[in-house]
Amino acid sequence: MDINNKKATRQSYGEALVELGKINENIVVLDADLAEATKTKLFKEEFPDRFFDMGIAEQDMISTSAGLATCGKIPFATSFAVFATGRAYDQIRNNICYPNLNVKICGTHAGITVGEDGATHQMLEDINIMRGLPNMIVMSPSDDIQTKWAVKEASKIKGPVYIRVARLATPIIYDEKTEFEVGKAVMFGEGKDATIFATGTMVAEALKAKEELEKENIFVRVVDFHTIKPIDKEIIIKCAKETKKLISIEEHNIIGGLGTAISEVLVENYPKNLVRMGMKDCFGKSGNAIKLLEYFKLTSKDIIKIVSQFSD
């Protein structure tokens, strides 16, 4: 991972839609007046007839997507994560998940790295509410390469998929040849001192921490959960057995997100303590994205601090 080679996953999402549009004419994209920010404008420019701006009306956007799906289209309904999932929850539940319709929902600008816009726009509960819906698959890719894979893969799944991406540019972790599988997390290293389970923007932070810790002869492994539902049970149990300590980190409330999903697996299969890093049941605030990560203790340094405490 070259930490200076960065791209925002929302940009990758927009680029992936264009590629997908070229190979599948059933792909249609809907946005709610945020095409510039969510990067769906890339698709709009290439395929104006298959792009629908629904105006500032997320509920209408989601239900319209359901109607399109009943007629064989594969809609990608897009907005900021807070509006795409929160504002339109009932529509997602009753129009998409219950009838199991082939609609993809992408929430961009997830987490606190939205930055200056502040708490109203920083979605910290989307994994929680999307994960709780039967039939819904939840994806939270960590970099450019993985996001492009997730978008393509989502289009092949016949049913609802939620894809969570971020505003902030983050390091490109994978090379283009990397292969992923839905529901199979990616493990970095085999360190036995601790496992850091991470998702989305936090994977790069975890990898930075891993590298730093190695200099002090502390060996951790990092697990990248690009899919949160279905969760990769095997890897959680394996890491619980093989490593001394477990940490989860996410740009999401610690209630209901990745940490909770991992806890559910642990408690039923291999009870073991888990330190959940994330937003501690609080809302975000305005500020520079990097400074916010520091403020809410979601950086590689904070991970290192917690792992070092274990060794003391």
Partner 1 sequence: MLNDIELQNFKNIAHNVRQSIIEMVYNAKSGHPGGSLSITDILTVLYFKEMNIASPDDENRDRLVLSKGHCSTALYAILAEKGFIPKEDLKTFRKIDSYLQGHPDMNKIPGVDMTTGSLGQGLSVSNGMAIAGKLDKKDYRVYCILGDGEIEEGQIWESAMTSAHYKLDNLCVIVDNNNLQIDGKIEEVMNSIPIDKKFESFGFNTIVINGHDYNQILDAFEIAKQTKGKPTAIIAKTIKGKGISYMENKVEWHGKAPNDDEYKLAIQDLMNI
**Integer Cα distance of 13 and 200 in angstroms:** 13
Identify whether the C-beta of residue 229 lies closer than 8 Å to the C-beta of residue 257: no
Q: Is 19 a catalytic residue?
A: no
Nearer to partner 1, 54 or 138 (CB): 54
Nearer to partner 1, 7 or 73 (CB): 73
Binding mask 77-96 for partner 1 (x = CB under 8 A): -------------xx-xxx-
Which stretch in 10-18, 55-63, 137-145, 229-237 sits in contact with partner 1 by CB under 8 A? 55-63
Nearer to partner 1, 8 or 28 (CB): 28
46 sits near partner 1 (criterion: CB under 8 A): no
69 sits near partner 1 (criterion: CB under 8 A): yes
50 sits near partner 1 (criterion: CB under 8 A): yes
Site for partner 1 (CB under 8 A): which residue of 55, 230, 242, 267?
55
130 sits near partner 1 (criterion: CB under 8 A): no
- Residue of 15, 25, 58, 242 with catalytic role: 58
Nearer to partner 1, 47 or 310 (CB): 47
100 sits near partner 1 (criterion: CB under 8 A): yes
Show Cβ contacts of residue 6 under 8 Å, excluding neighbours closer than 6 positions.
169, 170, 171, 172
Which stretch in 53-61, 78-86, 219-227, 234-242 sits in contact with partner 1 by CB under 8 A? 53-61
Q: Which of positions 274-303 make contact with partner 1 (CB under 8 A)?
A: none
Q: Summarize as ranges the residues that interact with partner 1 (CB under 8 A).
A: 28, 49-50, 52, 54-55, 57, 59-60, 62-73, 75, 90-91, 93-95, 98-100
